[in-house]
Chains A and B, each alone.
Chain A
Amino acid sequence: EVQLVESGGALVQPGGSLRLSCAASGFTFSSYSMNWVRQAPGKGLEWVSYIGRGSSPIYYADSVKGRFTISRDDAKNSLYLQMSSLRDEDTAVYFCTRDSGKTAADDYWGQGTLVTVSS
């Protein structure tokens, strides 16, 4: 069974940093591209970042470019999102998703981890 389990969400002050993790199981992690997608409270979905197999290519949404860094460790079946210079508007549930490889469709989603940026 495919499972994606996010962790690392927390309350952080504006300007602070946080690292999210996603533990993957039930599939060959190294064979899939992965994404982070977020959802602000009561709002819609927003794509954050993509990382391909072998960590290339990497893409970011304009809203996080230069502040967030996506990475993966295939030996640990894990995906990461290093977030810095956090802003109030980064407050959201962050989902880890598996890219099916078919027209950029995410066929599996984790349950999400909540990041709250507030003073």
Chain B
Amino acid sequence: QSVLTQPPSASGTPGQRVSISCSGSSSNIGSINFNWYQQLPGTAPRLLIYNNDERPAGVPDRFSGSRSGTSASLAISGLQSDDEGDYYCAAWVESLSSRVFGGGTKLTVL
């Protein structure tokens, strides 16, 4: 079982706003900062959000992140068909000296 838990799937219609959660098991995580990645079909992952809520250059402001304690959320507004793919949260867990990824959430645009 992953240290970071994501829902396996999410969906929305074009133009809608969707959120994807990432919950950390609090027993050994402590205070962590979350990053989010997007993986479109057949491509390498791409960094979407780092340090909980910051966007790298080139990432549209339709994508936003937030953190609350040992959990985080990725929100996508103005959903587009091109957003369909897999989304992963990730963090460095100091107590484990390990990077961890959530199991991933498959986003479907209906």
By a beta-carbon cutoff of 8 Å, the part of chain A in contact with chain B is: 35, 37, 44-47, 50, 59, 61-62, 95, 100, 102-107, 109-112
In the complex, besides A44-B102, A59-B99, 12 extra interface pairs with C-beta distance below 8 angstroms are A37-B45, A45-B37, A45-B90, A45-B101, A45-B104, A100-B47, A102-B54, A103-B51, A103-B52, A104-B90, A104-B99, A106-B35
Interface string of B5-44 (1 = CB under 8 A from A): 0000000000000000000000000000111010100001
* Contacts of B81-107 to chain A: CB distance below 8 A: 86, 88, 90-92, 97-104
Q: B residues within 8 A CB of A46?
A: 101
Across the interface, do B98 and A61 meet the contact criterion of CB distance under 8 Å? Answer: yes
- Choice from B35, B44, B88, B104 contacting A104 with Cβ under 8 Å: B35
Q: A residues within 8 A CB of B86?
A: 44
A-B pairs with beta carbons under 8 A, tally: 68
Q: Min CB distance, A42 to chain B, in Å? A: 11
Across the interface, do A112 and B44 meet the contact criterion of CB distance under 8 Å? Answer: yes
* Contacts of B58-99 to chain A: CB distance below 8 A: 86, 88, 90-92, 97-99
